Amino acid sequence: MPDPHGRSRAAALLSFPNPVNEVASRVVAGGVVVLTLVALGLQLPWMSAVLAYGFLARTATGPTLSPLGQLATRWAAPRWARSPRLVPGPPKRFAQAIGAVLTVSATVCWFALHTALATYLLLGALLAAATLESAFGFCLGCWVFGRLMARGVIPSTVCEACTDITRRTAAPARAAEG
């Protein structure tokens, strides 16, 4: 049976949501912060593989195949915010892909190259970016996505909502009126 966008159920489950609830994104980032702090604090570089799975799952399907994504979207975000704060999906997917590159690289450094230092440096970069997102609502990957769009590296058709500033300013105004 197709979803409202005409996709099959399987295609819908294996697609990234657009828009994305920013509250849930920040909860996921908070979970990444906790897992990364555990990996670094307890010197468990193998946890980079656990983090890599989460980022690969979220890049491919959004929260569908990610335990942390499910926790954030089904339990935490609905309890912590009266209403979702919807933001465009493509920049969030790009950010998840950057997290996947960092964590897969960290995993390769640990399991294939046997170098803990490189693993910890990559996890440290991940920790910085996830902390910015969870604590301050600043998505570093989204910011990079925007800069790449402005330079024409990412076509505007990838995220029409990202190129139309009136959509970003009108939504908060409408919410304030309601």
What pLDDT, in 10s, does the model give residues 52-67?
999 999 999 999 999 9
118 domain-assigned: yes
Give a yes or no: residue 4 inside a domain: no
pLDDT for residue 141: 97
Domain that holds residue 80: 9-177
Query: pTM of the prediction?
Result: 0.86
Q: Is residue 3 part of a domain?
A: no
Q: Are 30 and 76 in contact (CB under 8 A)?
A: no
DSSP assignment string, 87-152: E-HHHHHHHHHHHHHHHHHHHHHHHTS--HHHHHHHHHHHHHHHHHHHHH---HHHHHHHHHHHTT
Look at residue 2 and tell me if it is in a domain.
Answer: no
Residue 1 domain-assigned (yes or no): no
**Among the listed residues 59, 51, 63, the one whose alpha carbon sits nearest the alpha carbon of residue 23:** 63
When divided into structural domains, the chain yields a total of: 1
